[in-house]
Amino acid sequence: MKPIKLSNTKINRMIHTITDTNFNFPGQKSVYKGKVREVYALENDLLVMIATDRLSAFDVVMPRGIPYKGQILNQIATKMMEATKDIVPNWLTATPDPNVAIGHACEPFKVEMVIRGYMSGHAAREYKAGKRILCGVSMPEGLKENDAFPAPIITPATKAEMGDHDEDISRADILARGIVSEEDYEVLEKYTYALFERGTALAAKRGLILVDTKYEFGKTASGEIVLIDEIHTPDSSRYFYADGYEERQAAGEAQKQLSKEFVRQWLISHNFQGLEGQTLPEMSDDYIASVSERYIELYENITGETFVKAPVEHIQTRIEQNVLDFLK
């Protein structure tokens, strides 16, 4: 097979990804840099969250950015927060730029509420290794990969700093270690089930199955628990195509899915799972371009809308100016 020759346009867009920021907004107090998002804390309890084009897998940040990825994640997340705010309050107040969300400052809970409707991804890998308990929750015998659980299960993870691995943790351990109070954890569970039910319904309208996802929550200064970070994006969620799901399961075939699992599988095929001693494989220009195109496909399938590419030639300037205009 001949190598794909990239057009100058594609190469130019890859040059203009956003992988790091160093803004100084009026009233700025601090900056937190996560795996993908960078959060600027301002006076008056305002947070400016910037979705970069960084790509992480197995809790490792890849060395190169993916064109338009930050815009895609931010726009899906803000659309989904709008579609769920009637059942769960969230932190969001404005989106002045395609890569930016602005909202209320919160104290984040140090757990990620992972919920699984199907035995896929991490759960399937654990099951294949012979485990039948995941985060203190039993998984029934006799399941095949990608089978539905009898009912959705919550399998929390401890939040990690940039580059470190998240860790599975049980409800009992969360309470015993005082990571979250029992009263607050009951709210997190209630909200997680409600969001997953709504997300499942939204996905079904698009001919998709919401397989698993994660939610993060925080507490405002007034003590209200709200949804924060991203929701129902391909980075935080796994989707299957509903059409043909049963037939593929019956035939023992792999499911057609919408998530960044394709990146994980590519890394696995290159002998990388983020484990000690493993070497991160190099992503070529061709592969970077293909990942960008795949993320655009994910956006259009999840939202049902055509993706409109924001100008990227001066992306840092664009973001800064849009935020400054909003703050005025």
Of 51, 29, 30, 38, the C-alpha closest to 97 is 51
Pairing of strands 92-97, 60-61: unpaired
Q: What are the CA-CA distances from residue 275 to residues 57, 125, 163, 178 (Å)?
A: 12, 15, 12, 29
Among 38-52, 160-174, 209-223, where is mean pLDDT lowest?
160-174
- Provide the pLDDT confidence category of residue 1 given band limits of 50, 70 and 90: very low
Mean pLDDT of 273-287: 92
* CATH hierarchy code of domain 23-107+268-327: 3.30.200.20
Quick one: what percent of the chain has pLDDT higher than 90?
Answer: 82
Q: What is the pLDDT of residues 68-93, one digit of tens each?
A: 999 999 999 999 999 999 999 999 99
What is the pTM assigned to this prediction? 0.87
In CATH, the number for domain 108-262 is 3.30.470.20
More confident residue, 4 or 249: 249
Please say whether the beta carbons of 63 and 56 come within 8 A.
Answer: no
Residue 28 DSSP symbol: E
CATH 3.30.200.20 domain locations along the chain: 23-107+268-327
Least confident of 3-17, 59-73, 77-91, 154-168: 3-17
Q: Which of 62, 97, 112 is nearest to 272 (CA)?
A: 62
Residue whose structure tokens are 């790091």? 20
Q: pLDDT at position 52, please?
A: 96
Residue 299 has pLDDT above 60, yes or no: yes
